[in-house]
Amino acid sequence: MSEQLYTTKEAMLYSQRTAQLSKALWKAVEKDWQLWIKPYDLNINEHHILWISFHLQGASISDVAKFGVMHVSTAFNFSKKLEERGLLKFSKRDDDKRNTYVELTEAGSQLIMRMNEHYHDTPHCILDGSLPLRELYGRFPEFLDVMAVVRNIYGDDFIKIFERSFKNFKDNFDQVHSSARQ
Amino acid sequence: MSEQLYTTKEAMLYSQRTAQLSKALWKAVEKDWQLWIKPYDLNINEHHILWISFHLQGASISDVAKFGVMHVSTAFNFSKKLEERGLLKFSKRDDDKRNTYVELTEAGSQLIMRMNEHYHDTPHCILDGSLPLRELYGRFPEFLDVMAVVRNIYGDDFIKIFERSFKNFKDNFDQVHSSARQ
């Protein structure tokens, strides 16, 4: 019985520590994010949908919902608003009639790139709070245990989309900056 | 210039990875939390206020706000509602007239303990998602890099309150379960 009790205690302590930490981290991220996107008249969901569409280069609404960790109806409704603003367009694919796909319009892509250029115009407490770790270890933290937990909860697909979007982010960044230098 | 560019790229990649990961982690935590507290007619802010008041044993509204990562007005308004339900009481301290303190009533403490007893009645995807790490390392992950970032953002005070509340959590757990065994 004490084995069982110990486990219950350990589990509760762990999950409540995690709850507290993840709330604090997310609230800091959310604040940075809101400050960054404020001049562009977007909310976090809308920006997240644009960001995902940009980096996945043709995502279904269900991909957007899954990767954006939002309800499908939220993803759909905000995508509609972005379509009305001329930033996103909907399409069907011949090989997949069931899903609705979204992709950025030219105006949507321009907006995402303009926002990225102005990323450092607003403060990012996540960056400031991570600099001491970067100085210590020579790189920003990777949160490998968070990654592992997220992978177990959301599945390999989530992590695949995650890696794909950040690979695209890197490539796109290099492309934009190499053409800027020419 | 390429040094500068590299840093900008690294910083953006890092902070957007962190945004994505922390959103995913928090949304999972939030879902677990909501399922757990649903039968008790509390929202997350209300439960968080009770939880903090329980573990800090006499917290000011500004402590609650700080540690709960909510606005002072949110902490105050929800505390008022909890007071109306007879779960929390307000007080002033002779040595600190400026701050309002909150503490649990007997009914509030009973509620928190009853909720803790029923913690494992609902699924916790955070726990399930962390079990493979526990099996691998013999303990749950500690998210030390998240802790370090949170400490840098919110300050040492935040971490002190964090440690104090979890120390109380442990002591209280042992006490409840040792008296249950007698």
Domain boundaries, chain A: 10-181
State the smallest CA–CA distance between residue A172 and chain B in angstroms. Answer: 10
> What does pTM read for this prediction?
0.92
| Residues forming beta bridges with residue A93, ordered by sequence position | A96
Chain A residues 69-108 with a CB less than 8 Å from chain B: 69
Does B148 contact A at CB distance below 8 Å? yes
Q: Chain B window 3-22: which residues touch A at a Cβ cutoff of 8 Å? A: 5, 8-22
Q: Report CB contact under 8 Å: B149, A8.
A: no
Using 50, 70 and 90 to split pLDDT, how confident is the model at A1? Answer: very low
Q: Which chain A residues are Cβ-neighbours of B152 within 8 angstroms? A: 128-132
pLDDT for res A179: 66
Instruction: Please tell me the class of the B10-181 domain.
Output: mainly alpha
* pLDDT tier, B180 (very low <50, low <70, confident <90, very high otherwise): low
Q: State the smallest CA–CA distance between residue B73 and chain A in angstroms.
A: 16
Over residues B30-65, the pLDDT tens digits come to: 999 999 999 999 999 999 999 999 988 888 999 999
Q: Using the beta-carbon criterion (under 8 Å), do B170 and A140 form an inter-chain contact?
A: no
pLDDT value of position A2: 40
N- to C-terminal Cα separation, chain A: 70
Judged by CB atoms closer than 8 Å, whether chains meet at A148 and B170 is answered as no
Q: Mean per-residue pLDDT for A119-132? A: 93
Contact (CB, 8 A) for B102 and B79: yes
A176 contact B CB<8A: no
A117–B contact, CB cutoff 8 A: no
ipTM of the complex: 0.92
| B176 part of contact set with chain A, CB < 8 Å | no
Backbone angles phi, psi at A103, to 5 degrees: -145, 160
Spatial separation of the C-alpha atoms in residues A163 and A170, rounded to whole Å: 11
Tell me the DSSP string of A48-72: HHHHHHHHHTSEEHHHHHHHHTS-H
**B51, closest residue in chain A (CA to CA):** A16
CA separation for the pair A33, B121 (Å, rounded): 35
Mean pLDDT value of segment A51-72: 92
Q: What is the pLDDT of residue B48?
A: 96
CA A81 to chain centre: 19
B160 and A CB contact within 8 Å: no
Report the phi/psi class of residue B22: left, alpha or beta, with left for phi > 0 and alpha for psi in -120 to 50: alpha
